[in-house]
Amino acid sequence: MTTSGATRTSSSVWRACCRTAEWIRKGGAGVAALLYPAQCVECGAAIPWGSVVCLPCAERLPHPAGTACAVCGEQLASDSLDLCLRCGTRLRAFDAAVSLGPYDAGLRDLLRRFKFGREKAIGRWLAHELVRRHGSLLGEIDCVTHVPMTRAEERARGFNPSRFLARTAARRLGLPERRLLVKARATLPQRVLSARERGRNLSDAFVAVRSGKGAVLLVDDLLTTGATVDECARTLKRAGFDRVTVATVSRA
């Protein structure tokens, strides 16, 4: 072989390698999985492809325990209670709320990596876990939607984690995912405000962009006071929807 022939051969081999790498990058996720086995994001153990956390680590994640509020799912101090203080003293616009568990070590770490590190495989796994654990409650749903961000908030974050979770959960449930709400203006975190400021902070922040009927699953990443999902649920009910179930990854 001449020198130029050898050069041609090696450059065509190089091009073939580039094409293969490009093919794997674009759509060959299954092939990539064979080449690079998945690892648990918590401990690094080898796990089946499509998983994110190994079974022992999943078991260690915080689970809700004991009696929970019949509406929002908050853990109650006593078995003799049905409702938490917030749901007992105030009518909630949402009908029920479920989550994977309290905002503790493992779950907090996973949620942060998904939201701030944009590790979407983690988000996908969290949404699948939500559906797996609360499948029976989520069986009555007609469509799935999410708590929206303003355009500026979404630009700053790069994506809306709640929408990503909603879309993944909807796919898993075999239900349509719909954009039903927009956020018309920025709001402050409820926990930094006084009781009076809280009402003003959220009023008219969300606007329904579609009306409809039936039961909606409203997805958000984290439930704190519940005021945001409550305001979204109120807006959805004004737009005609009959029932709103809230699903969040965690509750603080």
Residues at the contact surface with Zn ion, assessed by CB under 5 A: 40, 42-43, 45, 54, 57, 69, 71-72, 74, 84, 87
Min separation Cβ 56 and Zn ion, Å = 6
Spatial separation of the C-alpha atoms in residues 69 and 223, rounded to whole Å: 14
Q: In the bound complex, what is the minimum distance in angstroms from residue 82's beta carbon to Zn ion?
A: 9
Residue listed under structure tokens 């409809």: 212
Question: Residue 243 forms beta bridges with which residues?
Answer: 215
Q: What's the closest the beta carbon of residue 134 comes to Zn ion, in angstroms?
A: 16
Phi and psi dihedrals of 93, rounded to 5? -80, -25
CB of 227 to Zn ion, least distance (A): 12
Closer residue to Zn ion in complex, CB, 88/214:
88
Q: CB of residue 62 vs Zn ion: minimum separation in angstroms?
A: 15
Those residues with Cβ within 8 angstroms of residue 191's Cβ, 6 or more apart along the chain or in another chain: 224, 225
Nearer to Zn ion, 57 or 143 (CB): 57
- Comparing CB distances to Zn ion, the nearer of 160 and 250 is 250
Task: Tell me the C-alpha to C-alpha distance, in Å, between residue 158 and each of 71, 110, 116, 151, 196.
Answer: 33, 18, 9, 10, 32
Q: Which residues of 141-180 are buried (b: 16+ CB within 10 A; e: fewer)?
A: bbbbbbbbbeeeeeeeeeebbbbbbbbbbbebbeeebbeb
Closer CB to Zn ion, residue 97 or residue 236?
97
Pick between residue 129 and residue 177 the one whose CB is nearest to Zn ion.
Answer: 129
Rounded Cα distance, 212 and 240, in Å: 5
SS3 for 56?
Answer: helix
Amino acid at 42: E
Least CB distance to Zn ion at residue 177 (A):
27
Is the CB of 54 or the CB of 223 nearer to Zn ion?
54
